[in-house]
Amino acid sequence: MLLPVLLPVRSADAAEVLMFVRPGCSWCELWRKEIGPIYPKTPEGRLAPLHELDIGSAPATLKLKSPLVYTPTFVVVSENQEVGRVTGYPGPDFFWSLLSRVLLDVPRDEP
């Protein structure tokens, strides 16, 4: 189930989702199969494009709220700061719900 994302962010590249993975992660593979093909076509995907990174290669400039431990971990980032995260892949329905809640915290233009 896809939940609507209500307001535009400050700019087209103001938010992104970093999906941290590791080799052999079966949950990462399941996400790629179930969600990966449709993610860019969703409101969430347009608001926050997704980029995959190895869990050991977080950019030095990225300000995380806590260490990365499990894969997959989906970190919503705005201006190099973590806004929130979804740890693990709980299946499609829960994934969309959890991600949509985190995306509500992305800074937005004032109307």
Domain assignments of the chain as residue spans, ordered by start? 15-51
Task: Please state, rounded to an integer, the average pLDDT across all residues of the chain.
Answer: 88
Q: Which amino acid is at 83?
A: V
From CA 89, how far away is CA 36, in angstroms rounded?
12
pLDDT confidence of residue 110: 57
> In the CATH hierarchy, which fold is given to the domain comprising 15-51?
Glutaredoxin (3.40.30)
Lowest-pLDDT range of 38-52, 76-90, 96-110:
96-110
Residue 11 has pLDDT above 60, yes or no: no
Residue 107 has pLDDT above 60, yes or no: yes
Residue 5: CB atoms within 10 A of its CB come to 21
More confident of the two residues 107 and 56: 56
Residue 3 has pLDDT above 70, yes or no: no
From CA 33, how far away is CA 42, in angstroms rounded?
16
**Contact partners, residue 64, CB within 8 Å, separation at least 6:** 58, 75, 82
pLDDT confidence band for 9 (50 / 70 / 90): very low
